[in-house]
Chain A
Amino acid sequence: MKKRAGKVILPIGILLIYAVLAIWLPEAAERSLKVTLDYALEILLIVPLVFLLMGLMEVWIPKDKVRQWLGKGSGVKGAVISVLMGTLPTGPLYVAFPMAAGLIRKGAGIVNMVLFLGAWAALKIPQLITEIKFMGLPFALTRFILTLAALLLTGLIMEAFLRRHPDKAWLVSSAAESNKNGSNP
């Protein structure tokens, strides 16, 4: 209950600001309200889409399967699977951290995990739909491609660095393991 109350504070606070504005600066309040309604309509248009897609993915793509597919993947195939698996499931990024940690322990490479986490955070499909709608296809497409390239580069740098300067014992042992298991399963 308390949590819910905390969440409602923001909209209520905003409502109060609108009320104050309506008294002191009615014109500004009217302008703001119009913008809000315009955006509300636009967002309403894609809300069912985004949330239903999230629901369907949540139901049909079990997270333990993700773990299984990713753990086995390596090489280019593993990288592609990592990206795909990052874009598909739903949930906040901190859900993905323990998954990534578990996968590293099971032998997944650092590159793949950086791709997985990066895709999870930056290349989600419902998010991309919203992006295309409000930013346009060229923006979304350019960002997608550049982000993918950056993630790959980041992963390679991190793999090289963490191999030479390991952080934790399990991290280096699993990284070495993944290098040995370079071929496909």
Chain B
Amino acid sequence: MSTVVIVYVLLAVVLAASLIKSRDKTKAAFVFAWKALLKTAPALLGMLGIVGLTLGLLPPETIQKLLGEEAGFAATLIASVIGAITLIPSLIAFPLAGSLLRSGATVMTISAFITTLVMVGVVTAPMEMKTLGRKFTLLRNGLGFLSALVIAGIMGVLL
């Protein structure tokens, strides 16, 4: 909660500075923000519904069984594959991941999901290959996937 307050204060300062420097640009920033919000809104609402269904229908015990200690490394691996394939906005992914964590999922599995989600892009790979080459893309995403697993392992031990 306190972090949110601090960041809002910072935002207010930046916003004031922006207003002083240029009224038009600040207005453009608001327009851009509003358009981006409208673009994300349907997916955001839909995913909110999915989060609600997931947590409303699956009791914590089930989540624990699927993503907790007893699920072991297989769950971590599956989570990382799901993270690599899907393209979920972070505004949705983090609340879901946070709630799964609180419901009994392991840090390792959740961080594997988060890390591959942001580091590996199977969906964007064709575009990446076209602009940066096949080898670059395969190496970047392959190494990204491996490091995501290592990062998840380390985070599981640390946190």
A interface list, Cβ under 8 A from B: 7-8, 10-11, 13-15, 17-18, 21, 28-29, 31-37, 39-40, 42-43, 45-56, 58-60, 90, 92-94, 97-98, 100-101, 104, 110, 113-114, 117-118, 121-122, 124, 126-127, 129-135, 137-139, 142-143, 146-147, 150-151, 153-154, 157-158, 161-162, 165, 167-168, 171
Contact = CB atoms under 8 A, between A and B. Distances in A.
In the complex, which range does the number of interface residues on chain B fall in? 35 or more
Contact of A54 (B36, B49, B139): B36
B48 interface: yes
A39 B119 contact: no
Contacts of B7: 49, 129
Given A14-B46, A142-B154, A154-B140, 11 more contacts: A34-B56, A36-B49, A36-B51, A42-B95, A51-B36, A52-B15, A134-B98, A157-B139, A162-B135, A167-B133, A171-B133
A54 B90 contact: no
> 10 nearest interchain CB pairs?
A32-B56, A36-B52, A14-B49, A55-B33, A10-B46, A150-B147, A55-B29, A134-B98, A167-B135, A122-B118
From DSSP, what is the main secondary structure of chain B's interface residues? helix
